[in-house]
Structure 1
Amino acid sequence: MSHAYSPVPELNMLKEFEERLGRACYSQAVELREFGVVPGIKTWTADPEFVAGFLGFADATLSGSTYALWRVDDRADLSTLPVVVFGDEGGIFIVAHNIRELLRLFGCDREIHVWDDCAGFVEDDEDEQGDEASPDHVEYLAWLDQQFGLAPPSDPNELVQAADEELGAQLASWMGRFVEDV
């Protein structure tokens, strides 16, 4: 029997990294949580198809937003599924094309903000965390490069916008089957 954190190799590697550090202080507000669970998802709708459509895996903000994989289709490689953020005060938005793209976003060491109509990352001077780096951020950047050959984007919002432009309308259409006023 496997004791892996998830069926997603990249997330298992991130979990091992977190455990090696002994804490999750490598990127603002990010911490892995129980795989597959999206807290509060049934406040949107209890429809089993909707609930099964998302696989939660990490806290996105200190106030309760959550990152989840969106089961856009039945592909076997879950790491290639789009990533959404469930806002703590509402809103579900596409933030990355896949897990590796999200890992790059974590490299920016910024907390995502979820508004009524979009999600994105604000500059450090606009953010209440200030410009102090997360304690283990340098270790995360080295891990990201060593494990995947990846680096953070110069502008995280360009990645978020590209993913949203490609998949946002599809997500809204899919959600419209279950939730009014999407």
Structure 2
Amino acid sequence: MSDTYSPIPELNLLKEFDDQCADFYSPGFELREYNNDSSWLESENPEFDDRVIPFAKATTSGSFYALWRCDDRADLATLPVLFFGDEGDLYVAAHDLRDLFWELLDEEFGGPPPTRQTYVDTRQAYLMWLKRHFGPAHPTYDRSPMEEHGRRFADWLLSVEEEDAADVVIENLEPIRGAAERPL
């Protein structure tokens, strides 16, 4: 049996960093057992379960992140990242793991910023870790993750008979469509 956290080198690097942290580096984010916590997904649909890979809590209230196996690519780190909200929200949160890692840096606690020195130090250490492993800046994309993958994700949900979930994704696409249709 291997002690490796996941089959994804980028997640293994984050796990190594995470194991050394005394505090959150992103509010509510917490790596969980990779693709092995059935309580996250309420689906009893094997087609759905085979393509959705949970790996982290997104909030302290029960939301989580998962990779979406939208195809059979070998590099799992390049898969879109999904957000499953504890209140039923569902959307494509990041283009890939690298995008998510940078987005975690932008997450804010509700209310005034924490002043605990361990939090400030951990955030600074995370930024240094991020730059060391993934470059000096957040990658740029032409479109948002929802614009890029949302329609395809909704179509896939419908194909695996997850209509309620597809409806939520489609609702999250509406503001994007509306903004694109408005004149500048």
Task: State the shift of 1:17 in Å.
Answer: 0.4
Larger radius of gyration: 2
Report if the CA contact (8 A) 1:56-1:68 is conserved: yes
Look up the match of 2:150: 168
Task: State the shift of 1:150 in Å.
Answer: 3.9
Task: State the shift of 1:47 in Å.
Answer: 0.9
Runs of 4+ in 1 over 6 A off after TM superposition: none
Q: Aligned to 1:90, which of 88, 100, 115? A: 88
Higher helix fraction (1 or 2):
2
Aligned amino acid, residue 162 of structure 2: V
Task: State the shift of 1:142 in Å.
Answer: 0.6
Matches within 5 A, 1:9-158: 9-21=9-21, 23-36=22-35, 37=37, 39-42=39-42, 45-110=43-108, 127-128=110-111, 130-132=112-114, 134-135=119-120, 136-151=122-137
Task: State the shift of 1:24 in Å.
Answer: 4.7
> Structure 2, unaligned stretches of length 5 or more?
168-184
- Superposed CA deviations along residues 77-135 of structure 1, whole A, max 9, x for unmatched, are 10000000111111221011100000010121426xxxxxxxxxxxxxxx24x222634
Aligned length: 158
Aligned amino acid, residue 63 of structure 1: S
- Superposed CA deviations along residues 49-73 of structure 1, whole A, max 9, x for unmatched, are 1111111111101100000000101
Aligned amino acid, residue 16 of structure 2: E
Aligned amino acid, residue 130 of structure 2: L
Pairwise CA RMSD: 2.1
State the TM-score, normalizing by the size of structure 1. 0.79
Look up the match of 2:162: 179
In 2: Cα distance, 1:92 partner to 1:138 partner: 30
- Superposed CA deviations along residues 156-180 of structure 1, whole A, max 9, x for unmatched, are xx97x71100100111111112222
Aligned amino acid, residue 35 of structure 1: Y
Report if the CA contact (8 A) 1:24-1:30 is conserved: no
Task: State the shift of 1:9 in Å.
Answer: 0.6
Task: State the shift of 1:149 in Å.
Answer: 1.1
Report if the CA contact (8 A) 1:38-1:54 is conserved: no
Aligned amino acid, residue 114 of structure 2: E
- Aligned sequence identity (%): 43
State the TM-score, normalizing by the size of structure 2. 0.78
Secondary structure, in 3 states, of the residue corresponding to 1:107?
helix
In 2: Cα distance, 1:170 partner to 1:38 partner: 25
Aligned amino acid, residue 50 of structure 2: A
